[in-house]
Amino acid sequence: MTLKGGLISVIGAGTMGNGIAHLFAQHGFKVNLVDISQEQLKKAINTITKNLDRQLSKGTITEDVKETTLSNIKTFPVLADGLRESQLVIEAATENTELKLNIFRQIDEAAPADCILATNTSSISITKIAAITKRPGSVIGMHFMNPVPVMKLVEVINGFSTNKEVTDTIVSLSKQLGKTPCVVNDFPGFIANRILMPMINEAIYSLYEGVAGVEEIDTIMKLGMAHPMGPLQLADFIGLDVCLSILNVLHTGFGNPKYAPCPLLINMVAAGKTGIKSSEGFYIYSANTKELVVNKRFA
């Protein structure tokens, strides 16, 4: 099974969906980008245009590539309309089990019988998602990292029933996109987030317990452990709501209290402070400056 060229549908046009659409479109695929929110679809095209302009100004792409990439992407507010001729669907909607099960029920109805159904979920069971469809062998995890056009890794997750042919197709497709795939098995958080999220949670606990401030925690992990970004900045970047959802999946999935999300994280999400996408998290973000400004609440 090969997917050279062809039509890809991306469900969800948020942080990850716009990056996935950008990546495929730049590699010559036609992309149908689907979101229930027209505003998110508009925002996604603006973000992709801005990111292509950045690549253009760095000289890594030409004006031609920019125009072709943009012309390869079509937007759809209705799920079924964006799926009819797809070879591959990549779901990148909000990290919520019920929502994803509901979306996969609809995708299974609307997508062609031989279409592969992938999810970009950070932590939710691929096996559970697959079981809601009539083609569990064709369901797989294709977990991109943020920002998608830049980060090299694709964590490929085999569900209990995933066919080997489907895994092989996604592995070779990832390579075709210039990425390095790593195949793992389906357990809560897989590998990336099973290891990353407890570290982020511990950083938030350290702040919550007053062991150190935002800047100190992030500086220690950057300079001491050679991380390119501190864990609190990374949490803002990922989205605090996404971090909370993943920790909840780890906590319930393993039944181990070590994964219980820090109350400060729960409170910040309840208050709508979700990091970069809401302009406020452990840091404050404004369009005018790239300088990192610690949220006054934690200063």
Determine the 3-state secondary structure of 3 from DSSP: coil
- Check binding of 92 to ligand NAD (CB under 6 A): yes
User: Is 279 an active-site residue?
Assistant: no
Nearer to ligand NAD, 32 or 163 (CB): 32
Choosing from 155, 158, 163, 206, which is the catalytic residue?
A: 155
Tokens for 16? 């990850």
For residue 17, what is the enclosing H or E element? helix 15-26
Choosing from 22, 143, 163, 245, which is the catalytic residue?
A: 143
Tokens for 28? 């010559």
User: Do residues 253 and 187 lie in contact, with contact meaning Cβ atoms separated by under 8 Å?
Assistant: yes
Binders of ligand NAD among residues 224 to 243 (CB under 6 A) are 238-239, 242
Measure the N-to-C terminal CA separation of the chain; round to a whole number of Å.
Answer: 54
Place of tokens 């042919």: 165
User: Is 22 an active-site residue?
Assistant: no
User: Among residues 8, 10, 15, 261, which is the contact residue for ligand NAD, using CB under 6 A?
Assistant: 15
User: Is 201 an active-site residue?
Assistant: no
Binding mask 116-155 toward ligand NAD (x if CB under 6 A, else -) reads: ----xxx--------------------x--x---------
Q: How far apart are CB 2 and ligand NAD at their closest, in Å?
A: 25
Q: Report d(CA 221, CA 223) in Å as an integer.
A: 6
SS (HEC) of 18-42: HHHHHHHHHCCCEEEEECCCHHHHH
Nearer to ligand NAD, 1 or 221 (CB): 221
Q: Report d(CA 6, CA 173) in Å as an integer.
A: 12
Q: Which stretch binds ligand NAD (CB under 6 A): 22-30, 63-71, 88-96, 282-290?
A: 88-96
Using CB under 6 A as the criterion, which residues of the chain lie in contact with ligand NAD when the complex forms? 11-17, 34-37, 40, 79, 92-95, 99, 103, 120-122, 143, 146, 238-239, 242, 277
Residues belonging to the active site: 122, 143, 155, 193
